[in-house]
Structure 1
Amino acid sequence: MTWHVAEEDLRAYAQGTLAPPLLWSADTHLTGCAQCRARLAHSTDPVALDAGWERLDAELDAPRQGLFERLLVRLGVADHTARLLTATPILRRSWLLAVLLLLGTTVLAVHVVGRPALFLALAPLLPLAGVALSFGPTLDPTYEMAVVAPLHGFRLLMIRTVAVLTAGLALNGLATLALPGYGLLALAWLLPALALTATALALTSRLGPVLAHSLVTGGWLTLLLTAQAPDTSTALSPFTTAGQSAAAAVAALAALLLYKARDRFDARPVGGFTDGGAL
């Protein structure tokens, strides 16, 4: 060694008051310099030294915050809530890119065919699928952390749902901008998307996420195949004025039922359901 940690820096290090970058330099030096470690041991109270090493271990083991997580914390979101939000599996880059590709392909098909029915039928299912895939040990790498988080189960469900819906609706909104020729009709997917998601969440409290979302998806596809409105440009009645009104009513009713069933989400960890098993 051609240099050693200065005495005053060594004392500050032991007291936990040495600031970066001197702290990092001292850490690196002490790992390879027995002489400085001996000086530190002889000049420091053993209890204070042990406390200092514990603080160092805690800092080194602390998870590093990503850009989005740091932004949420700066906006006033609690640390654990920000971590749960940023760790939502559906917000990962691979999922977002896949959704963008699917929406882009659908918009291109609409321009070729000249009818928005395909986009309107698909768009409500994407937020629904995102919410369904946001819970459970299979897809969620932070499942154990979510289970032991000091949060009401219903609040955890809402945190994840809002995160997924925000991302999904934003992507759908971008795709809608690529269909300017259809005016407000291009936004007719929004109310059905909210109705489907709210209904699936309300059913999740009794059926679990897999069965509940599967039933809602099947019901939506059945409705599209059977409920025709030949006098409209979409030929799909869910996107008429009456259909939009019905979707709004279903969304409101499902939201009310979901709120009434909120305590059921504490009976088991969110996502820890068996297929078709009640909470």
Structure 2
Amino acid sequence: MTGWHAPNNLVTRYADGSLAETDAWSLDKHLERCGRCAARVSHAVRAGAAGPSLAAVRAGVLAAAPAPRRTAPAPGAPRALGGRLTRILWAAGPAVRGTWAGSVVLVALGAVALAYGGGWAGARPLLLALAPVVPVAGVALSYGRHSDPLHEIAASAPGGGLRLLLTRTAAVLAVSAPSLTLAGLLLPSPGPRLPAGPATAGWLLPGLALTLASLVLSGYLGCRTATAVVGGGWLLAVSAPLLLSGGTGLTAGLTEQLSLYFTGAPSQGGWAAATVLCALLLAARRTAYDRLETM
């Protein structure tokens, strides 16, 4: 704590919604840790034009809610643990809280089972081909009015918009990247009849670039459409050369195609440049993610 408290004019503008977005974000983080300023903001809101409506809503909720059951907290358990865990789960997004995380684990375990239990040599290249679009799918299920029932509330909060979208994207990457990379390490190496494939971690930078590209397009097309365009484009880029060439087998052809995309300094350098470009575009268009109709 620094001992700083928000001045009265800042509190008033925050309460009536006239405070600039960047200042509102900064004050929002301060209110999470300063009960004194939070109480002042609450008093300012109740004293404003929305005060009577909020009082009526509060009275209706209290009248309809059942009486709370009082239970003693566990000895030594911090009181703030439940509230902090709730905020973390909310910020992580529907994808991490829902079935998507379990699906990622099942994909990883399925690839290992196919390689060792089924003896299929194509499990490794198939996993590497799908890995870059797995976090893209997680982003589609983490943000937007089609997937998040609290989207309007989340996007209109001072901590919503691009900051919440990046938070949920980071949570998606934190689940998918370790799971799929570990599965790739467990898979057997290509046999003598197959060409040497890309490194196990070769998909990480392409996956990050595709994820950021989907976020950039979300500001124009919406989250759902943008992720479909990026994910479908990647799958088409991988599968189209295999469908057009009938010479080599599917596993060998997929391995060669992935080596072209993932292996070597030129390809990885290109993905790195795409990642930086997408990050710059996100920063330049950060205000576009505050408009609900675009997401």
- TM-score band w.r.t. shorter chain: 0.5 to 0.7
> Partner of 2:262 in structure 1?
239
Report the CA distance between 1:246 and its aligned residue.
Answer: 1.9
Q: 1:260 to 1:225 in 2, by over 3 A?
A: same
> Partner of 2:102 in structure 1?
97
Which of the residues 159, 173, 178 maps onto 2:181? 173
Q: Distance in 2 between matches of 1:128 and 1:246?
A: 19
Q: 1:147 to 1:253 in 2, by over 3 A?
A: closer
Q: State the TM-score, normalized to the length of structure 2.
A: 0.59
- Judge which range, 175-184 or 162-171, deviates more: 175-184
Q: Distance in 2 between matches of 1:132 and 1:162?
A: 13
Which of the residues 109, 114, 128 maps onto 1:109? 114
Which of the residues 190, 199, 212 maps onto 1:198? 212
1:70 matched to 2:70? The reply is no
> Partner of 2:72 in structure 1?
none
> Partner of 1:19 in structure 2?
none
Q: 1:199 to 1:93 in 2, by over 3 A?
A: closer
- CA deviation string 1:187-239 (max 9, x = no partner): 111111101101111111111112211111122112213467x9999211112
Q: Which amino acid aligns with 1:142?
A: L
> Partner of 2:161 in structure 1?
153
SS at match of 1:150: coil
Do the aligned partners of 1:191 and 1:248 also contact (CA within 8 Å) in 2?
yes
- Judge which range, 127-136 or 140-149, deviates more: 140-149
Q: Distance in 2 between matches of 1:261 and 1:175?
A: 36
Q: 1:199 to 1:227 in 2, by over 3 A?
A: farther
Please tell me the root mean square deviation across aligned C-alpha atoms, in Å.
Answer: 3.5
SS at match of 1:113: coil
Q: Distance in 2 between matches of 1:146 and 1:85?
A: 9
Q: 1:163 to 1:240 in 2, by over 3 A?
A: same
Q: Which runs of 5+ in 1 are unaligned?
A: 1-53, 62-66, 275-279
Report the CA distance between 1:158 and its aligned residue.
Answer: 1.1
Q: 1:154 to 1:235 in 2, by over 3 A?
A: same
Q: 1:243 to 1:225 in 2, by over 3 A?
A: farther
Q: Percent identity?
A: 36
Q: 1:180 to 1:110 in 2, by over 3 A?
A: closer
Do the aligned partners of 1:131 and 1:165 also contact (CA within 8 Å) in 2?
no
Q: Distance in 1 between matches of 2:164 and 2:224?
A: 18
Q: How does 1:20-59 map to 2 (within 5 A)?
A: none
Do the aligned partners of 2:128 and 2:184 also contact (CA within 8 Å) in 1?
no
Number of residue pairs the alignment of both structures matches: 203
Do the aligned partners of 2:216 and 2:278 also contact (CA within 8 Å) in 1?
yes
Q: Which amino acid aligns with 1:249?
A: A
Which of the residues 285, 288, 295 maps onto 1:264? 288
Do the aligned partners of 1:107 and 1:119 also contact (CA within 8 Å) in 2?
no
Q: Distance in 2 between matches of 1:147 and 1:155?
A: 10
Larger Rg: 1 or 2? Answer: 1
